[in-house]
Structures are given as structure tokens and as C-alpha cells.
Amino acid sequence: MRPELLSRALSLLPERGGRPELEHYLEMLRDYPQRGGKGIRSELLLASARVHGARPGTPAWEGALWLAAALELFQNWVLIHDDIEDDSEERRGQPALHRLHGTPLAINAGDALHVYMWEAVHRSGVPGAMEEFLTMIHRTAEGQHLDLSWVEHREWALQEADYLQMVELKTSYYTVIAPLRLGAIAAGVSPHPAFRDAGLALGTAFQIRDDVLNLLGDPAKYGKEIGGDLLEGKRTLIVLHWLAGAEVDQKEAFLEQMLRNRPDKDPGVIDEIHRWLLDSGSVNYAQDYAHAQARVGLELLEEAFQHAPDAGAAQELLGAVRELATRDA
Amino acid sequence: MRPELLSRALSLLPERGGRPELEHYLEMLRDYPQRGGKGIRSELLLASARVHGARPGTPAWEGALWLAAALELFQNWVLIHDDIEDDSEERRGQPALHRLHGTPLAINAGDALHVYMWEAVHRSGVPGAMEEFLTMIHRTAEGQHLDLSWVEHREWALQEADYLQMVELKTSYYTVIAPLRLGAIAAGVSPHPAFRDAGLALGTAFQIRDDVLNLLGDPAKYGKEIGGDLLEGKRTLIVLHWLAGAEVDQKEAFLEQMLRNRPDKDPGVIDEIHRWLLDSGSVNYAQDYAHAQARVGLELLEEAFQHAPDAGAAQELLGAVRELATRDA
């Protein structure tokens, strides 16, 4: 995220803990935000605020900055808990927080950042922002439940539609819909109703792109372990598409690995499955699906922005969103 | 908690999930609240609202009810995460949520209830309530970090003052200080400054009473496993006092067990330590300390209530608080 958002978010934390354990607590809270996330969602929020006429230096812009900081805090507390839930090894090129400090302290640190997120929302003073955050997190938690419950119950009898519903809930709200809407309300404008459908499509494109990168991304850029989704038993459009047409022995080998907990999975077989997926047409299928969704979302957004107060800012936002859906990290 | 608070809290959740996994999600969210906590903190908040002149049926009372529901939601999401952090087996006489559904889904359910808590705060419409909740949770999370970091780092070189600071942060704010203050602001009255010191003392008395009950409570009434604090390696005033004067071999046996993770602890030795603690003077020492703190807190509160709008309600509140500090479950 941009440095001014990082310092704004961290300015909510006390500077000193008063005793060594609480210094350590504050270090844990600052850790993920300081690892330098890309700030995709906060940039989208600020871009939307500009599109809707909020000008830097105005009170509206100040409100937008607090909401952007809150969105980054959201992303960071969710990642702390996500990494525990998925038992991920790495985050942004470094060990996940619970691998550094143990699960109990990491859960608590995530909860604490969650509270600082609400503090940032409150500081924004933007009417309606609290409701937006409530809706956004409800949908995200529902999507997260779908994802996690499939892992917990070894559920692989899923259709593409199941995956797509999960992604809409888990990714689209906080990645696209909420940033677009929050930018509008920070500028004092009622959000365009099409933001919802646009955001659902673009969020889906975004998540599928992430799933693809998890299989064939550049480890140096990606920041998470390549193939980590397979080790964590994640459902993806790629895997569900491949499963539907896979040879019986490959399918069996796959499901047999997916019945195992992460530490019991056979790295050799997982590597083999990884290759099968790359060699199948399923990565291309998913890429095409993502591109189609991105196109739908961008068209809806272009239409919604036709009468936007700042047409230049609207063009910039559309370009940035287009890049997101085709990014390579 | 009283039934009207339970239904108020649960009224924030959607009635239907729309698909089986999300029905399951809603069941998880309703589980702890429906297990019938005592509602100590919400009752204290409502009592404080009455003391400060809020009358049932008025908008002020409606605000107080939402804040009371929010406080119960707070208690419940914190317990879900607490039980994971401590790897507790039971909660309110039933298996802890993560033991029923696994840690990932339970973390997410706790996060979701956390968000519903903010929704209840928002619904209250009480000016200043959000700030109260922010402060309350910050202090609770700091205290929780102290407690958990001592467990994580096998830290037993602690003074009674360390324990007392932990308890003030972890227990006093959300158990006494915040309920007293929230009741006042719901009634439109500025909270008396003495609530802070009164709450610190009473919260300490309350937590020490809980520590004592964990060693010698009636399992049928207590709802958690008796001796669970020993298995979880919890620091208590009882243990720290006992350690300071224990015989070398007993102290060594104790510290040797505390170096082990919960599943590796020797139940026979833990039972023996449990008996040593009960036979020592340390339980009485802690009880006396708790009584003295309760006396200090009650005196401060009596003074603060001298000019309370509702003197009868003030007497009731003081009686209820007195009972809390000497409760047997």
C-alpha cells in the first residue's frame, strides 16, 4: 500500500507498549502491514473516490484516506487469520505470522488489527461507511466458511457454480464491490447499482487469476509458495474443470492426496498432480473464463462511469482494473 | 443472558443461509450464545443504565439493550477464539466450538460474531458507544497477549504484579469498567471517573474468584473442566503465590509439567499439583486478596453512586456486584 496509508493505519496503534510483552504485541500488529502488500484494494477505493469527484486536500478525500487505511487493515487481519486457517507457510515472502509466534498469539493479533480497522472506519466520519464494512465482512466470512468447510469435510463433489458462488462471496465484495462503493460514498455520491454485478464479475476474474498464478506464477514475485493451493486442498476452477474430465487413475491419485492433511500429503505426488494440471487444458479454460468475466465487469463499469464527475479518473480506474485481471504477481 | 438479549443478538443474523454449508455457518454462530451464558456483563450494563436514569420503554433503554446484546456478542466471539488459543476442551458444559468443527471454521465463526457485535453497537445509536467498545477490546486484547505470551514462552519468572496487570487488562475492562460506563452513556450521562478504579479492583476480584473456582468449583455448576487452568498452564495469583514459597521438589515438578504442551502433561502429576495447591495457604491468600479488592471496588462505587438518579437501582447493582465477587459458579 502507499506509504501514507501505512503510516495512517499504524498511527492508530500506541507508540509504546509499556512492557516488553506489549512491545512484542505491537510488533506483531505492525508486521503484516509493513511487509508491503500491493494495496490493490485501497488504490481502487481512492481511484473510485476521485472518479466521484473527491479532490485531494478536501475533507472528502481525508475520509477516503481513512477508509482506504481501514480496507488495508481489513486485508491484513484477514490474512493473519487466513494463514492460520489454511496453515500457510508464507506470506509476502516471509513466514506466516503464526509460524513465527504460534497460533494463539497470531489469532489474538488478528483480532486486535480487526478492532483497529473499525477505529479507522470510525475516524473516516463517512456516513454509511460502517454499513458498507459490515456487509463486506459478512459476505467475506460466508465465502470463507464455504471454502474452509469444503476443506474440512473433504468435499470434492462440487460444480463450477459452487466455486463461483464461493469466490463471489469470499473475494468480490472486499476486492471490488466495497472499494468501488466506499469511494463513491466518501465523495458523497450514491454508489451506482451496477457496481455490484461489475464487482462480482471482476472479483471472480481476479480470484481465478490468483488461482492460476498459484500454479504457474514466478515465486519471486508471487510471495506465496507456488502450488500452495494444492497442498492446502483449495478448490479452484482449474481443479474442478480438470476433475470433470480427468482419467480415472489421475482422479483417484488426486482425491487420495486430498483426503490427507497437509503434512501427510506426498510432495512427489503433489508435484505430479501439479504437472497434470499444467499440461491439461484446464488452466487455459480458467484463464479464458477469467478474461470473459473481466470483459463483462469492465463493460458494466464503463457504462456506470459514463456520467462520472471525473472522466479522466474513470479512464485511469478502468485501466488499473484491466491490469489487475491480467497481472502476473 | 436474558432471553430478550439473546433473540435481539441473533436477530442480526440472516434467518436462512441459502445453502447447506451456510446453514451450518449460522448454526455455528448461534451455538455459543445459545448455550446460556450467565449474562453477567450485560446485566451489569443494564443495571448501570437504570442507575443513571434510563427507564424501560424509552429510547435510552432501547439503546442500552442493543449495547447489552453487543457485550454478549463480544463475550461469545472472544470465548470462541479463547478456547482455540487455550485449546480448551469444554465451554458451558459442551465441547468447545473448535473441537466440534475444527480450528479453521471456528476462527472464522468468531470473526463473524465479532462483526455482528459491531452491528449491534451501531444499532444502539448511542453516541460514544463505539469509542467505548474500541477501548474495551484494545485493553482485552493486550491482556490476552500477556497471558498467551507467558504460556507461549514458558514464562514463570513472574511477580504477582505481573498477574495483576494482566488481569486488569484482560478482565476488568470488559467485565466491569465498560459495562458501568456503557450503562451511563446509554442513559445520556457522563460516566463517573471512579468507575475506572472501581472496575479495576472489582474485575481483579472477579477473575481471582474464577481462578479459585477453576481449582475447587463444582463441575456441574462451573461449566469448564475443573483444573483446566493447570492443564492450560495459566498463570494465577494462587500459583504465583504458591511458587514463591513452594518446596524445591514440588516447584521443580510443577515447572517440569509446565514446560510440556497440554497433551504431554502427566495427568497424575497434575492431579498431585492440584492437591498441593488446595492444601497450601495460597487459595486462601488469593481469596483474601479478592475480598479486599472487592471491598475497595464496592466502596468506590458506592461513593460514585451517591447522587445517582435512581438510588434503589444503585443498591441493587451494588448487591449484584457483591454477589459476583463471591459467586460459586
Euclidean distance between CA atoms B200 and A272, whole angstroms: 60
Q: Is A134's Cβ below 8 Å from some Cβ in B?
A: yes
Q: Examine the predicted complex and report whether its ipTM is higher than 0.90.
A: yes
The residues, any chain, with a CB within 8 Å of residue A239's CB and separated by 6 or more, are A254, A277, A282
| Higher-confidence position of B158 and A222 | B158
Res A220: pLDDT: 67
Contacts 24+ apart (CB under 8 A), A314-320: A314/A51, A316/A47, A316/A50, A317/A44, A317/A47, A317/A48, A317/A50, A317/A51, A320/A43, A320/A44, A320/A47
Q: Is B158's Cβ below 8 Å from some Cβ in A?
A: no
Euclidean distance between CA atoms A115 and B132, whole angstroms: 12
Q: Is A272's Cβ below 8 Å from some Cβ in B?
A: no
Res A222: pLDDT: 65
- Say if residue B219's pLDDT is above 70: no
User: A216 exposed, middle or buried (CB, 10 Å; 0-12, 13-18, 19+)?
Assistant: middle
Res A229: pLDDT: 87
- Residues of chain A neighbouring B86 (CB-CB closer than 8 A): 104
Res B105: pLDDT: 98
Amino acid identity of A321?
V
Res B1: pLDDT: 84
A261 pLDDT tier (thresholds 50, 70, 90): confident
- Say if residue A227's pLDDT is above 90: no
Q: Is B318's Cβ below 8 Å from some Cβ in A?
A: no
> In whole numbers, what is the pLDDT of chain A averaged over residues?
94
Q: Which of B115, B132, B136, B146 to mutate to test the interface with A (most CBs of A within 10 A)?
A: B115
Res A238: pLDDT: 95
- Say if residue B128's pLDDT is above 90: yes
A327 pLDDT tier (thresholds 50, 70, 90): confident
Kindly report the nearest CA distance between residue A135 and chain B, in angstroms: 9
What Å distances lie between residue A76 and A98, A115, B53, CA to CA? Answer: 13, 12, 42
Extended beta strands in chain A, E state: 90-91, 94-95
* Contact: B134, A114; criterion CB under 8 Å: no
Euclidean distance between CA atoms B156 and B152, whole angstroms: 11
Res B98: pLDDT: 98
Res A228: pLDDT: 83
- Say if residue A21's pLDDT is above 70: yes
Q: Which of B24, B87, B118 to mutate to test the interface with A (most CBs of A within 10 A)?
A: B118
Amino acid identity of B329?
A
Q: Quote the DSSP letter at residue B264.
A: G
A74-83, A315-324, B71-80 — which is least confidently predicted?
Answer: A315-324
The domain limits of chain B are: 3-324
| Higher-confidence position of B143 and B93 | B143
User: B75 exposed, middle or buried (CB, 10 Å; 0-12, 13-18, 19+)?
Assistant: buried
User: Which of B221, B210, B227, B201 is CA-nearest to residue B296?
Assistant: B201
User: Which of B34, B53, B41, B31 is CA-nearest to residue B99?
Assistant: B31
Res A328: pLDDT: 67
Percentage with pLDDT > 90 across chain A: 85
Q: Is A327's Cβ below 8 Å from some Cβ in B?
A: no
* Contact: B107, A142; criterion CB under 8 Å: no
What are the pLDDT digits (tens) for A51-64? Answer: 999 999 999 999 99
A38 pLDDT tier (thresholds 50, 70, 90): confident
B226 pLDDT tier (thresholds 50, 70, 90): confident
Which residue's entry shows cell 464527475?
Answer: A309
Euclidean distance between CA atoms B104 and A12, whole angstroms: 28
DSSP H stretches of helix in chain B? 3-10, 20-34, 40-51, 59-85, 97-101, 103-124, 129-152, 160-167, 178-186, 194-216, 219-222, 228-231, 237-245, 248-258, 267-279, 282-304, 311-324
- Say if residue A1's pLDDT is above 90: no
> Which residue in A has a C-alpha nearest to residue B120's C-alpha?
A134
- Residues of chain A neighbouring B145 (CB-CB closer than 8 A): 21-22, 24-25, 105, 108-109, 112
A49 pLDDT tier (thresholds 50, 70, 90): very high
Mean pLDDT across B91-103: 95
User: Which of B239, B326, B321, B317 is CA-nearest to residue B288?
Assistant: B326
> Which residue in A has a C-alpha nearest to residue B112's C-alpha?
A141
* Contact: A149, B25; criterion CB under 8 Å: yes
Q: Quote the DSSP letter at residue B75.
A: H
| Higher-confidence position of B328 and A69 | A69
CA dihedral A272, A276, A278, A282 (to 10 degrees): -150
- Say if residue B62's pLDDT is above 90: yes
> In whole numbers, what is the pLDDT of chain B averaged over residues?
94
Mean pLDDT across B28-57: 95
Kindly report the nearest CA distance between residue B280 and chain A, in angstroms: 30
CB B28 within 8 A of CB B16: no
Mean pLDDT across B64-74: 98
Kindly report the nearest CA distance between residue A95 and chain B, in angstroms: 18
A284 pLDDT tier (thresholds 50, 70, 90): very high
Q: Is A130's Cβ below 8 Å from some Cβ in B?
A: yes
What nine digits make up the cell of B184? 451511563
What nine digits make up the cell of B200? 479495576
Percentage with pLDDT > 90 across chain B: 85
Kindly report the nearest CA distance between residue B188 and chain A, in angstroms: 20
CB B314 within 8 A of CB B308: yes
Q: Quote the DSSP letter at residue A90.
A: E
Q: Is A166's Cβ below 8 Å from some Cβ in B?
A: no
How many CB atoms lie under 10 A from the CB of residue B109? 30
Which residue's entry shows cell 460506563?
Answer: B181
Q: Is the sign of the CA dihedral A294, A300, A303, A304 positive or negative?
A: negative
Euclidean distance between CA atoms B2 and B38, whole angstroms: 8
Fold of B3-324: Farnesyl Diphosphate Synthase (1.10.600)
How many A-B residue pairs are in contact by the CB < 8 A criterion?
124
> Which residue in A has a C-alpha nearest to residue B128's C-alpha?
A122
Name the residue among B81, B118, B149 with its Cβ closest to that of A134.
B118
- Say if residue A247's pLDDT is above 80: yes
What are the pLDDT digits (tens) for B290-327? Answer: 999 999 999 999 999 999 999 999 999 999 899 887 77
Q: Distance between terminal CA atoms of chain B? A: 15
